[in-house]
Structure 1
Amino acid sequence: MQHRLSLIASGAFAALLMASPALAQNESAGPSAERIRQVIVYGDDACPQSDSGEIVVCARQEEKERYRIPKELREAPDFGSTRNEAWANRVRSIEYVGRSGTESCSPSGLGGVTGCFAKIAAQAKAERRMTGEKSWSDQVAAERERRLSTIDADSQAIEERAKAEEAEAAARALDHQNDPGK
């Protein structure tokens, strides 16, 4: 019997030990009751008031930044960096790492120098595209468009001058016809 009591006592003690971590936990076992809200305010705007159970953290920016693209997104990409480059383009550049021979722009192999101009031209074109610089053909097209845009106004002015000269000549002819001695 004593053996039975000691077995029951040890079982109760073990159950108490296993339940103690559950008893040590906080009452609320879910998300905290406090809510944190981060807000960016611009210029002299007031930081919003917090409600009960809410923490409001305000970061202040200049007024001129209100409708602008965030600085991280408007910075120009680093030339030579592959940070903003598509994976397909990175793989294409890796393909040329061990390339030699014709059209490769390498000092080894026959015709290695033949690809150097193509490589330099492709790099220059890519840089120009990245910076937004216009090529010669773009500049010629823009000038042609500018000139063509004034043709209608110029031809209208020329036509009005011609009509005025014709009307003046017709009036002189009529005066000369009515008074031949003039």
Structure 2
Amino acid sequence: MTRLLTCATALATLGLGLTLGALPASAQEASAGDEKVNQLIIYGDDPCPVSSDHEITVCARKAESERYRIPEPLRGIDSPKSDAWTNKVQAYETVGAFGNMSCSPVGPGGASGCTQKLIDKAYAEKANGTDVKFGELIAAERQKRLSTIDATAADEQKRVEEAEKAYFEQQRRQQAQADAAADAAKTDTPLPRPK
């Protein structure tokens, strides 16, 4: 996902006319339910599209000077050519490593180091990741939507209660009219006398 995001950002900033559209993360899709999350990076004074009822639009604003530049995460790409010699030497030192915390299938506890390598790699990606935190922006937009739900629900509840009151009042009037008609029918017409 990170590579897709950085590649799309690179294409967008190279002036190819592409925008970073809806690229929701799978965790966001699982927790969001029916709503769609549209994440955009906008530059300068460009307007952010308005959210609709079933779509949250979150915009990360960057300076106008960043519009046609290579994105920050791609400016210092690690490649074998730019790797420091000390890193290469350390890699050669671990070629024959096995045993505990080595992440190898050899020796007892060799697989125990794989988790640590995975954690170290995740922290390295986080350190080199983009500075846009869409998760926080989405949470703020959701909170803004939830703040209006209470007022909307109170208005809706008031309308429903008024409609119920009018309905029950009409039912009571109709019942009173039916009772009055039944009482009038009883007193006006005498019952026939048996012979």
Which TM-score tier does this pair reach, normalised by the shorter chain? Answer: 0.3 to 0.5
Q: TM-score, normalised by structure 2?
A: 0.33
Which has the greater radius of gyration? Answer: 1
Structure with the bigger RCO (C-alpha within 8 Å, sep 6+) is 2
Q: TM-score, normalised by structure 1?
A: 0.35
